């Protein structure tokens, strides 16, 4: 899973039906069309960085580190108008005059823009925060900022000075949501007051916003440090904390009582159309909620059968529910302290690294590290997530792990989780994308959920090919994680389209997975706050696995898993239909190549 900060502004998934049939280029206008398209991509990339400064920060572009996204109604409507204008400008470019590569770039951007414009009617800006993040956790952007120069610190001071405005703007959006009946579920918003209160410290130096001033690098002159600390203390004491105190009062007394009791997306304004949109958006298919629900039920049954085999292998004599309870509670599967848990995650990551050559020929150059999820948000977020590296290579990728309540974090989940979030999962996917030097930036940093999370889930199963599942309990962990994503298909559609209650979804999850209740409740609440997103994982994994089986069947002894895995990643993040077309062409090319060419 990607870090929530990025998900708000990253290029995401598209609808199916994109046609990539070759068309004859028009030589006389090819140069003009190509120039126009590339200029359009450059201008839109720049607009995205300028309009969403947090995204620029995440990409390692420091030019806008002194500001936040303008969340005023005027700014939101202006951005929506600019998106509509961008769509018209893109359509005015002669697609037939482009090269094959640029036709693909054109079509990908066109469909993303079309979906962005279509999405405007749902007014998601009226729900500007969730229990997993928002203005109440604005300090977490520090994780993405480099503090090396005086200007870096002064940029942060300007962000601190502007933060009360962001809080005021957010409050205004929430008021609009209340008027429109477009609010988050009450059960989720009950988690937020504690997150806001975490910002109300008595000692300024304990504020998470003050963190960069606790230790300066040698590159910041001693003469500047006292001034910077004093200004930070002043801003946090006189502006930031009072603004959060006012926001807390508004949230507790006005907003929380007016949030909706329903959990279903279909109960939002124009809710059925909204959930239908999200299901297609996140899966890049035209599957209906009912079809996805049935796929999930079948996968749950299949994986359950595999779990029974592992239970028999380890000699456990009880029922599956008793086996799940054993996996959730036996001390052998848990570390005693957050530090021990963190060290174990680091050890698993190092164990994976040397085995990657068994399943890849191409290893990306960008490194990655392991970090704990910030303590303030850890109780309300998932087991782990990945933060991509900076697009210019100035910041490594990071695998964030949840150390909250180590007694709820079983060791049997560490191998599949690390394969998914770090290598060869999300880190390989994003690092390889950044190495597509000839592609426009939006393609190099793209994130389509069905492809990206499908790849992460597929990467968990690569652990078998890498020899990492020699312990049956680690294999049970892989099955548990596969089951986790199959269950998502059932409970997400169940809650948002079929009338399931939150409790029913939690119990279904617990009945079919050994994950702990702490994780299960957080997961279910995530699906409530982020409808449809969880559908992309299993649908994407099933397509990538299907294409692998097709490749092996058609290529026979010419099939090499290393080449297949490289071929999947070399497209960058794309809709599943585009990936399938690419792999079919790759198969055809391998069939025609001389036998000796199968090994590169």
Number of domains forming the structure of the chain: 2
Global pTM?
0.88
Last residue in a domain, options 268, 286, 310: 268
Last residue in a domain, options 203, 235, 268: 268
| pLDDT per residue as tens digits for the range 182-233 | 999 999 999 999 999 999 999 999 999 999 999 999 999 999 999 999 999 9
The set of residues, in sequence order, having a beta carbon less than 8 Å from that of 207 and lying 6+ positions away, is 139, 199, 201, 236, 240, 241
In a domain, 203, yes or no: yes
In a domain, 143, yes or no: yes
Task: Check: CB of residue 335 under 8 Å from CB of residue 346.
Answer: no
**pLDDT at 112 (0 to 100):** 87
Task: Check: CB of residue 88 under 8 Å from CB of residue 44.
Answer: no
In a domain, 264, yes or no: yes
**pLDDT at 3 (0 to 100):** 56
| pLDDT per residue as tens digits for the range 249-301 | 999 999 999 999 999 999 999 999 999 999 999 999 999 999 999 999 999 99
Give the span between the Cα atoms of 477 and 418, in whole angstroms.
11
Task: Check: CB of residue 562 under 8 Å from CB of residue 361.
Answer: yes
Q: In terms of Cα–Cα distance, which of 381, 378, 371 is closest to 530?
A: 381
What domain range is 159 assigned to?
135-268
Give the span between the Cα atoms of 438 and 87, in whole angstroms.
23
| Beta pairing, strands 368-372 & 384-387 | unpaired
| Beta pairing, strands 368-372 & 397-401 | parallel
Q: In terms of Cα–Cα distance, which of 362, 350, 495 is closest to 432?
A: 362
Task: Check: CB of residue 576 under 8 Å from CB of residue 285.
Answer: yes
Calculate helix-pair angle for 414-421, 426-434, nearest 10 degrees: 10
Last residue in a domain, options 268, 288, 323: 268
Does the pLDDT of residue 29 top 50, yes or no?
A: no
Give the span between the Cα atoms of 272 and 269, in whole angstroms.
9
Give the span between the Cα atoms of 40 and 442, in whole angstroms.
11
In a domain, 349, yes or no: no
Q: Which residues partner with 398 through β-bridges?
A: 369, 387
| Across 294-298, 380-384, 395-399, least confident range | 380-384
Quickly list DSSP for 234-294.
Answer: HHIIIIIHHHHHHHHHHIIIIIGGGSBS---GGGSTTHHHHHHHHHHHHHSS---HHHHHH
In a domain, 233, yes or no: yes
């Amino acid at each position: 899973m990607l870090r929530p900060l990025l998900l708000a502004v990253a290029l995401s998934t598209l609808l199916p039906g994109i046609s990539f049939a070759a068309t004859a280029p028009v030589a006389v206008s090819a140069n003009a069309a190509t120039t126009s398209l590339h200029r359009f991509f450059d201008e839109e990339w720049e607009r995205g960085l300028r309009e969403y400064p947090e995204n620029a920060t995440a990409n390692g572009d420091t030019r806008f580190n002194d500001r936040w996204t303008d969340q005023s109604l005027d700014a939101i409507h202006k951005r929506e108008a600019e998106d509509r204008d961008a769509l018209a400008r893109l359509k005015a470019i002669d697609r037939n005059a482009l090269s094959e590569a640029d036709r693909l770039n054109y079509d990908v951007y066109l469909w993303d823009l079309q979906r962005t414009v279509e999405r405007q009617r749902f007014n998601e800006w009226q729900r500007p925060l969730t229990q997993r993040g928002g203005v109440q956790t604005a300090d977490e952007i520090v994780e993405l900022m480099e503090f090396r120069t005086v200007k870096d610190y002064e940029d942060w001071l300007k962000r601190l000075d502007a933060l009360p405005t962001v809080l005021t703007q957010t409050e205004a959006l929430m008021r609009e949501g209340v008027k429109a009946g477009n609010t988050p579920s009450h059960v989720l918003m009950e988690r937020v007051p504690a997150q806001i209160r975490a910002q109300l410290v008595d000692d300024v130096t304990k504020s998470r916003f003050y963190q960069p001033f606790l230790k300066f690098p040698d590159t910041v002159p001693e003469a500047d440090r006292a001034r910077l600390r004093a200004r930070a203390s002043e801003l946090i004491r006189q502006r930031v904390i009072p603004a959060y105190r006012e926001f807390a009062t508004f949230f507790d007394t006005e907003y929380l009582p007016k949030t909706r009791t329903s959990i279903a997306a279909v109960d939002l304004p124009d809710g059925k159309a909204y959930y239908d949109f999200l299901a297609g958006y996140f899966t890049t298919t035209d599957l209906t909620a009912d079809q996805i629900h049935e796929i999930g039920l079948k996968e749950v049954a299949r994986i359950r059968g595999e779990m029974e085999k592992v239970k028999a292998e380890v000699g456990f004599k009880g029922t599956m529910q008793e086996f799940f309870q054993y996996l959730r509670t036996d001390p052998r599967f848990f570390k005693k302290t957050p530090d021990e848990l963190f060290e174990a995650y680091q050890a698993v990551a190092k164990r994976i690294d040397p085995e990657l050559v068994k399943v890849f020929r191409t290893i990306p150059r960008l490194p990655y590290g392991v970090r704990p999820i910030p303590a303030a948000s850890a109780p309300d977020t998932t087991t782990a997530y990945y933060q991509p590296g900076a697009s210019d290579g100035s910041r490594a990728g990071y695998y964030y792990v949840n150390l909250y309540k180590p007694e709820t974090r079983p060791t049997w989940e560490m191998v599949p989780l690390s394969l998914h979030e770090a290598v060869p999962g999300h880190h390989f996917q994003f690092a390889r994308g950044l190495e597509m030097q000839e592609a426009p930036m939006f393609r190099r940093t793209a994130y389509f959920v069905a492809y990206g999370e499908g790849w992460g889930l597929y990467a968990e199963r690569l652990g078998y090919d890498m020899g990492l599942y020699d312990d049956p309990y680690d294999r049970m962990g892989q099955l548990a994680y596969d089951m986790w994503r199959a269950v998502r298909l059932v409970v997400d559609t169940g809650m948002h389209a079929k009338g399931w209650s939150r409790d029913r979804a939690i119990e279904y999850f617990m009945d079919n997975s050994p994950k702990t209740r702490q994780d299960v409740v957080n997961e279910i609440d995530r699906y409530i706050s982020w409808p449809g997103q969880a559908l992309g994982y299993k649908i994407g994994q099933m397509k990538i696995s299907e294409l692998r089986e097709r490749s092996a069947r058609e290529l026979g002894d010419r099939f090499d898993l290393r080449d297949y895995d490289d071929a999947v990643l070399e497209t960058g993040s794309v809709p599943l239909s585009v990936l399938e077309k690419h792999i079919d062409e790759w198969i055809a090319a391998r069939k025609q190549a001389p036998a000796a060419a199968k090994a590169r």
